[in-house]
Amino acid sequence: MVPAMHRPAQINVDLGAIKENIKNEVKHLKDKQQLWAVVKANAYGHGAIPVANAALQAGATGFCVATLDEGLELREYGIPKPVLVLGIVPVQWTPLAAQKNISLTVGSLEWLKAADKILAETNQALKIHLGIDSGMGRIGFSEDDEFIAANKFLQDNPHFEVEGMFTHFSKADDADTSYFDYQVKRFKHMQDLLTIKPKYIHVANTATSIFNRKIDSDIVRFGIGIYGLNPSSTPNTDDLPSEVPLKPALSFTSALSFVKQIHKGYGVGYGATFVADKDQWIGTVPVGYADGWQRKMQGFKVKVGDEYCPIVGRVCMDQFMVLLPHKMSAGTPVELISADPTAPNNIKAVADQADTIHYEIACLLSDRLPRVYKD
């Protein structure tokens, strides 16, 4: 998708805030613990390469991504540190991963055997992390017999370097730790079955770290915290208190592209879901759901100039309308998302309006919106 450079709409990313968040987390790490920055999904919508470079400067020693292509992008732009793909990669791409020194997640003996044949043909060794499904129900080993067999298969196997073993927690961001404790118990059981010795055993994500969950981990996979956001982003509930200061890095700005006065009885937007009960001023903002600004944002207040104005009518694909308190000029600045966590239009407030979490809001902001960086 081509960024729309010739309209007044952009995502603003404060790399200084990202560095500050990482430095604060590095200070919070336990002795010999490492921070690997999670930059999947275009760094949660913030921009993978600028964020990765900022993370390196701030003390990250590795990176996590979701797909092999995301890892290849890091290598293409000269990121030299370890890169782990957290998802399952089709076995035919294992030689490419090995060539680019990218570590892959393994979740089954079947995958290992298939990859072994391919790597034998190319005479390569692949770095792998053993994924454990301790209760997420997503990917990874969960049965004892298969995991024991995988250990035997990997013993002295020249085509694999077992770099790590990890799991992912379903409820590390919940005040009730009972399911978290259950997953920890399941993971430790699988760890007891190990006969090979990975370099890293890692289970910690942002939530386990900033909420001080009691579990050992060689690596903290620092994800949402990089971007200054609290992982306990349940809609319309307060965040859990973080032990690490978090400074949001993203804001979303635009400007009024058109202003007009409508009269009593005039409708606004598809379906005319808003009808004027008197003469009123309407401003148009050149952003819509194709940019990731969802139709659910109808009724939300964005900042126009110095005033918060409600979105009226349905959000269109490329535009939405706001009810102005008085006549304003085209070109008046509009702030859709504020980086100030206390502002009425902060990203959690946006997520609450959409009945979702801020992870989704940030990731949905499309590539049509240019990213503008400051340090």
Tokens for 163? 């770099």
Positions marked catalytic: 40, 270
Question: Token pair for residue 285?
Answer: 């903002």
Give the CA distances from residue 19 to residues 22, 26, 247, 340, 342, in Å, rounded to whole numbers and listed in that order: 5, 10, 10, 17, 21
Lowest mean pLDDT among 33-47, 168-182, 257-271: 168-182
Q: For tokens 């207040």, what's the residue?
A: 301
Strands 274-275 and 267-268: antiparallel
pLDDT tens for 122-168 read: 999 999 999 999 999 999 999 999 999 999 999 999 999 999 999 99
Report the percentage of the chain scoring pLDDT > 70. 100
| Pick from 72, 41, 77: nearest CA to 56 | 77
One of 3.30.70.960, 3.30.1200.10, 3.40.605.10, 3.20.20.10 is the CATH number of 15-227, namely 3.20.20.10
pLDDT given at position 233 = 76
Residue 71 makes CB contacts below 8 A (sequence gap 6+) with 63, 65, 83, 85, 97, 100, 102
DSSP summary character for residue 246: -
pLDDT computed for residue 173 by the predictor: 85
Share of the chain above pLDDT 90, in %: 94
CB 151 within 8 A of CB 185: no
Distance in angstroms (rounded) separating the CA atoms of residues 14 and 229: 13
Mean pLDDT of 195-222: 93
Neighbours of 105 (CB within 10 A): 20
pLDDT at 234: 83
Second-level CATH architecture of 250-338: Beta Barrel (2.40)
Q: Enumerate the CATH 2.40.37.10 domain ranges in the chain, comma separated.
A: 250-338
3-state secondary structure of 87: coil
**235 has pLDDT over 90:** no
Q: Provide the b/e sequence for 286-295 (b: ≥16 CB within 10 Å).
A: bbbbebbbbb
List, for residues 87-119, the tens digit of each pLDDT value.
Answer: 999 999 999 999 999 999 999 999 999 999 999
Least confident of 92-106, 169-183, 189-203: 169-183
pLDDT at 114: 98
Cβ-based neighbours of 303, under 8 Å, separated by 6 or more: 309, 334, 335, 338, 343, 344, 345
Average pLDDT, the chain: 96
The stretch 227-241 carries a mean pLDDT of 89
What spatial distance separates the first Cα and last Cα of the chain, rounded to whole Å? 26
CATH 3.20.20.10 region(s) of the chain?
15-227
pTM (2 decimals)?
0.95
Q: Please write the tens of the pLDDT for every residue from 46-57.
A: 999 999 999 999
Please name which of 64, 31, 12 lies closest in space to residue 225, comparing C-alpha atoms: 64
The answer to whether residue 302 scores a pLDDT higher than 80 is yes
Q: Which of 83-92, 213-222, 276-285, 333-342 has the lowest mean pLDDT?
A: 213-222
How confident is the model over 328-372, as pLDDT tens digits?
999 999 999 999 999 999 999 999 999 999 999 999 999 999 999
